[in-house]
Chains A and B, each alone.
Chain A
Amino acid sequence: KNEVEQSPQNLTAQEGEFITINCSYSVGISALHWLQQHPGGGIVSLFMLSSGKKKHGRLIATINIQEKHSSLHITASHPRDSAVYICAPGSSNTGKLIFGQGTTLQVKP
């Protein structure tokens, strides 16, 4: 079993839809990162959170430390949101990030 599991692996949505990506992990963490990767490779850090909820624009991230689960929500999705979204818990021992396989999101106009 992988240390980090994301679902779904692939997601196609219509513009305007509400999107949820889930992440479950099995390791002890100091914090969890949600990252966005566009074609071509560049990675952007969307959120780092260790408890509760954070919001930035149309993006919301939540984490439940007890259940070892996090979600990334996108409200009013737009084609420019099309990217790979990666959940990456940071190990509490080393601080290194452990990456999920990513969720490929395509938002159609």
Chain B
Amino acid sequence: ETGVTQSPTHLIKTRGQQVTLRCSSQSGHNTVSWYQQALGQGPQFIFQYYREEENGRGNFPPRFSGLQFPNYSSELNVNALELDDSALYLCASSFQGGGYEQYFGPGTRLTVT
């Protein structure tokens, strides 16, 4: 059983650029959730994908979009980056029928300058 992996580990971008973050879910899981954690804050829910469809979204603008692939891996895309997008981005995979126990990846640290 493989764990949840994320890439890249760290990333530096300039304001206005676009970024794609990737997450490989744990084997057997069909649901991926993305979270944003600003420095000193708790994580905030961005959205969740279940079987390749968006299944819930937090209070984030449309600049934040995602995809889930047939192998249940996922991407988070952020367009027109702003300085406030600097944060740790976490993904978590789960098997939705299993009581929502979520397994977290190590995160991607994004810095926008």
Residues of A within 8 A of B (CB): 30-31, 33, 35, 41-45, 48, 50, 86, 90, 94-102
Contact = CB atoms under 8 A, between A and B. Distances in A.
B90 A96 contact: no
Interface in B20-70: 31, 33, 35, 37, 41-45, 48, 55-56, 58
B45 A98 contact: yes
Given A96-B48, A99-B42, A102-B42, A90 B107 contact: no
Interface residues of B, number: 27
Contact of B102 (A33, A42, A102): A33
B50 to A, nearest CB: 9
Interface of B: 31, 33, 35, 37, 41-45, 48, 55-56, 58, 88, 90, 92, 94, 96, 99-104, 106-107, 109
**SS of B interface (majority):** strand
A51 B67 CA distance: 34
28 contacts: A30-B99, A30-B100, A31-B100, A31-B101, A35-B104, A41-B109, A43-B43, A43-B90, A44-B104, A45-B102, A45-B103, A48-B99, A48-B100, A48-B101, A50-B99, A86-B42, A90-B100, A94-B56, A95-B31, A95-B48, A95-B94, A96-B45, A96-B58, A97-B43, A97-B102, A98-B45, A99-B35, A100-B42
